[in-house]
Amino acid sequence: TRAMFMTQAASLLEAARTLGASRSQVIREVALPLARPAIAVGMSLALLETLNDIGASEFLGVQTLTVSIYTTWATRSDLGAAAQIALAMLALVLGLILLERHGRRRQRFASTQRMRPMQPRRLRGLPAAGALVLGGLPVLLGFVLPTAYLVSETVKRLNLVGGISSALFQALGNTLLVAASATVLTVACGLMLAWAGRSLRESTRRLLPRACVRIASLGYAVPGTVLAIGLLTPLLWVDRVLGQILQHSGLLLMGSSAALVLAYAIRFLAIPAGGIEAGLTRIPPSLEQASRLLGESAGRTLWRVHLPLLKPALAASALLVFVDTMKELPATLLLRPLNFDTLATWLYAEAARGTYEEGAVAALAIVLAGLLPVVLLARTQMPQGHH
């Protein structure tokens, strides 16, 4: 939403002021309608993240559908009832997405081709104070104070014990292992999906690439508990088949971290698919055509032409997937093997026991990891001259 407001054409806003519109009318009738797609995306992301939450909801005693799915499966071992709740939650998510798209199906948000963005204006006096309060209060309450508390509890814990427990180190190692594995798999699948969409663009009139990207984006729209419940039955069936073939009595998929990596890849595939597709659109087709005219195969063209130019998109996608995987809790709780903890599940268990100082170290590590993409994205979106 911030980027959309920053890139709005100044000519449109100035034209509204020339026609006699006040500042409030310009915001209400010009700026907000132009920013509606970004606002809708932001609201959708906030809604999906809220539906996916399980830790804060259970900690505060709010009985959400996500909490109901987890408790039904974890405490009652009733997969059928959990699947019914998951299906109702999935219908709710899809209904909200279709409702939002239906609301703006006939609206267009195009602007002029040559856009001159609005120049920032320095605020003074009361407006500056109001902007500072409105912009700083969420950061203070949502980040500064919680992080300060985590740092304080971490220092107390380290001073009391003299170090980090081996169990927490094991959870950190598990987190890095599954996050790295899921990142490699997800980015590779996203690259193949985006590259196949570019290769088939001309022959299919872009219908197939768009359909593939939309299907890939459904994983991010589905809450982690719903995805985990949906994967349980097929994964258990595959384990039974593999057990009969290999004459192995254990659970090969559900008894290892493979199920977690698969769930992470499905859930976060939309991140690299969309990011790499956007990166491919900025590569001129003439470069690919020149490579093919020189006798290079499609694979070598991808390796020698596309990949070097896609390094920023690949790095950003990998970083986002890695961080999202580190803090993913609902799917991890349902699909993790026995005695397998990540930083997120470690923090969840310590909070459930009321030993907050024990989970402060894990929470601080997750917060610090989550800062990396925020800082990088903020630097890339900041206009020149305002660093």
Q: Tell me if 1 is assigned to some domain.
A: yes
Q: Tell me if 25 is assigned to some domain.
A: yes
Q: Tell me if 14 is assigned to some domain.
A: yes
| Residue 55 shares a structural domain with residue 75 | yes
Packed helices 36-52 and 79-103: angle between N→C axes, nearest 10 degrees: 170
Interval 201-253: pLDDT, tens? 555 455 665 666 667 777 777 888 888 888 888 888 888 888 888 777 667 77
Domain count, the chain: 2
Which residue range(s) make up the domain with 94? 43-105
Distances (CA, A) of 53 to 47, 49, 214, 330, 336: 10, 6, 23, 7, 17
Which among 80, 105, 130 is the end of a domain? 105
pLDDT at 387: 42
Beta bridge partners of 117: 9
Q: Which two tokens stand for residue 7?
A: 């890139």
Q: Tell me if 82 is assigned to some domain.
A: yes
- The three-state secondary structure class of 222 is coil
| Residue 17 shares a structural domain with residue 59 | no
Which among 105, 125, 157 is the end of a domain? 105
Q: Tell me if 11 is assigned to some domain.
A: yes
DSSP conformational letter for 253: T
| Residue 23 shares a structural domain with residue 51 | no
Interval 64-108: pLDDT, tens? 888 888 888 888 888 888 888 888 888 887 887 777 666 656 555
**Which residues 6+ apart lie within 8 Å of 17 measured at CB?**
23, 26
User: What's the rounded Cα separation, in Å, for the pair 359 and 332?
Assistant: 17
* Residues 52 and 34: beta-carbon distance below 8 Å: no
The sign of the torsion formed by the CA atoms of 371, 377, 381, 387 equals positive
* Residues 168 and 365: beta-carbon distance below 8 Å: no
Q: Tell me if 17 is assigned to some domain.
A: yes
Q: Which two tokens stand for residue 87?
A: 């299906």
Distances (CA, A) of 213 to 21, 90, 236, 281: 41, 19, 28, 14
Q: Which two tokens stand for residue 125?
A: 């006096």
pLDDT at 232: 85
pLDDT at 383: 45
Overall residue count recorded for the chain in this entry: 387
pLDDT at 215: 73
Q: What is the DSSP string of 267-332?
A: HHTHHHHHHHHHHHHTS-HHHHHHHHHTT--HHHHIIIIIHHHTHHHHHHHHHHHHHHHHH--HHH
Packed helices 79-103 and 65-76: angle between N→C axes, nearest 10 degrees: 160
User: What's the rounded Cα separation, in Å, for the pair 75 and 84?
Assistant: 16
| Residue 20 shares a structural domain with residue 64 | no
Q: Tell me if 251 is assigned to some domain.
A: no
Which has the closest alpha carbon to 34: 109, 90, 121, 108?
A: 109
| Residue 89 shares a structural domain with residue 51 | yes
**Per-residue b or e along 218-252, where b marks 16 or more CB atoms closer than 10 Å to that residue's CB:** bbbbbbbbbbbbbbbeebeeebeeeeeeeeeeebb
| Residue 29 shares a structural domain with residue 52 | no
pTM: 0.79
User: What's the rounded Cα separation, in Å, for the pair 270 and 215?
Assistant: 9
Q: Which helix (H) or strand (E) holds 237?
A: helix 224-246
Q: Tell me if 94 is assigned to some domain.
A: yes
pLDDT at 384: 44
Q: Which residues of the chain have pLDDT under 50?
A: 111-113, 204, 383-387
